[in-house]
Amino acid sequence: MEKAHKEIAIPELPLFKKGKVRDMYEVEDKILIVVSDRISAFDWVLPSLIPDKGKILTQLSMFWFEHISLVCPNHMITTKIDEFPESLQKYKAVLDKRSMLVKKIEVFPVECVVRGYLAGSGWKDYKETGITSGVKLPDGLKNSDRLDEPIFTPATKAEEGHDENISFKEMQKLIGSDLSNKIRDISIELYQKASLHAISKGIIIADTKFEFGLTDKEIILVDEIFTPDSSRFWPVSSYEPGGSQPSLDKQFVRDYLEGTDWDKASPPPELPSEIVNQTASRYMEIYRLLTDKDTL
Ligand SMILES: Nc1ncnc2c1ncn2[C@@H]1O[C@H](COP(=O)(O)OP(=O)(O)O)[C@@H](O)[C@H]1O
Ligand SMILES: [Mg+2]
């Protein structure tokens, strides 16, 4: 494991956007996404870094983009540094494995969440109202229960602050009903296709989040997909509805933070090294299980 990267500066490229985890640069009409080892939780970037996380997210997204390429076009152009423009070759060492050249896309302001199991804010909404994102669910479901059919539960993509679950009707109002219907159907199909692969590796994808954009009237899948930052991954072997599940994803960090006295309104605390190490191991473990690869 090499040292963790807080940010990846490329002074000669115009910055397109600095997200919580990704540093994005403009490369002609394209974007270079460089994934740092930053980790966010409860809408805060934590002061601690998770070694190799940026590589894991990039390699796993690439694996999935290839796996689902027949379902929907995606933004990936290449992750091979040799295929990046000549001016970037001197950054090879820092960019290696953690960067992807992508098409620049106008992203819809909607987080497209698919849930096959009831967890997180889906479970919280259901407990309070029986409904999540406008979807009425059967009575008597337990925490982490499998749903009969995967459901599409969009959320707003807030520029600042917390994303909020919205109903499908509200999504239709935001981006139109034709696009919303298509995006919902694609999202469910992506979830089903990836779940089949994951289950063959002993992993349940409890829920996941996509982002989409539009070029020339074509819907394009962007951002990261089926990573431990964007999905809940539960080992089948320990799955037992009725409570929260052991998971190979960011939930481990959220659970740790929930157990501290941090108020989520002021800057978050450092993670103890034990939590950093365990998070790094979980991220590597899910990468290994899903891709059958031992190295990044
Ligand atoms: N192909 C793309 N074109 C334009 N923007 C993109 C593309 N892929 C992802 N994005 C945007 O880039 C950002 C990714 O950086 P990230 O650190 O994950 O940000 P955030 O803090 O918003 O989650 C997201 O805002 C996402 O919508
Ligand atoms: Mg993001």
Nearest ligand to the CA atom of 157: 1
Are 79 and 144 found together in one domain?
no
Are 142 and 236 found together in one domain?
yes
Are 143 and 195 found together in one domain?
yes
Are 234 and 127 found together in one domain?
yes
Q: Is the CB of 8 under 6 A from ligand 1?
A: no
- pLDDT tens track of the chain, all 296 residues? 678 999 999 999 999 999 999 999 999 999 999 999 999 999 999 999 999 999 999 999 999 999 999 999 999 999 999 999 999 999 999 999 999 999 999 999 999 999 999 999 999 999 999 999 999 999 999 999 999 999 999 999 877 767 899 999 999 999 999 999 999 999 999 999 999 999 999 999 999 999 999 998 799 999 999 999 999 999 999 999 999 999 999 999 999 999 999 999 999 999 999 999 999 999 999 999 999 999 99
Q: Is the CB of 20 under 6 A from ligand 1?
A: yes
Are 138 and 221 found together in one domain?
yes
Alpha carbon of 206 to ligand 1 centroid (Å): 23
Are 254 and 178 found together in one domain?
yes
CA distances from 226 to 26, 65, 163, 205, 265 (A): 25, 9, 19, 8, 29
Per-residue pLDDT at 2? 73
What is the rounded CA–CA span in Å between residue 248 and residue 263?
A: 25
Per-residue pLDDT at 217? 79
Are 28 and 164 found together in one domain?
no
CA distances from 15 to 4, 33, 282 (A): 21, 10, 31
What is the rounded CA–CA span in Å between residue 235 and residue 246?
A: 7
Strand-pairing partners, residue 27, are 30
User: CB 12: neighbour CB atoms within 10 A?
Assistant: 9
Report yes or no on 92 lying in a domain: yes
Per-residue pLDDT at 216? 84
Are 254 and 122 found together in one domain?
yes
- H helix or E strand, kind and range, residue 253: helix 251-258
Q: Is the CB of 73 under 6 A from ligand 1?
A: no
Q: Is the CB of 169 under 6 A from ligand 1?
A: no
Nearest ligand to the CA atom of 163: 1
Q: Is the CB of 57 under 6 A from ligand 1?
A: no
Domain boundary among 58, 83, 104: 104
Nearest ligand to the CA atom of 31: 1
Alpha carbon of 224 to ligand 1 centroid (Å): 8
Provide the phi-psi class of 117: left if phi over 0, else alpha when psi is between -120 and 50, else beta: beta
* CA-103 nearest atom, ligand 1: 1
Amino acid identity at 271: L
The CATH number of residue 118's host domain is 3.30.470.20
Which of 242, 228, 239 lies closest to 291 in space, CA to CA? Answer: 228
Q: Is the CB of 203 under 6 A from ligand 1?
A: no
| 133 alpha carbon, distance to own chain's centre | 19
Per-residue pLDDT at 163? 83
Report yes or no on 272 lying in a domain: no
Q: Which domain holds residue 239?
A: 107-258
**Cβ density class 47-82: b for 16+ within 10 Å, e for less:** ebbbbbbbbbbbbbbbbbbebbeebbebbbbebebe
Report yes or no on 1 lying in a domain: no
The two tokens of residue 60 are 């796993």
Q: Is the CB of 21 under 6 A from ligand 1?
A: yes
Number of domains in the chain: 2
* Phi/psi of residue 84, nearest 5 degrees: -75, 160
Alpha carbon of 223 to ligand 1 centroid (Å): 5
User: CB 274: neighbour CB atoms within 10 A?
Assistant: 9
* CA-229 nearest atom, ligand 1: 18
Pocket test residue of 50, 107, 230, 231 for ligand 1, highest count of atoms within 8 A of CB:
107
* CA-75 nearest atom, ligand 1: 1
Alpha carbon of 139 to ligand 2 centroid (Å): 33
Alpha carbon of 240 to ligand 1 centroid (Å): 34
* Phi/psi of residue 166, nearest 5 degrees: -125, 165
Provide the phi-psi class of 43: left if phi over 0, else alpha when psi is between -120 and 50, else beta: left
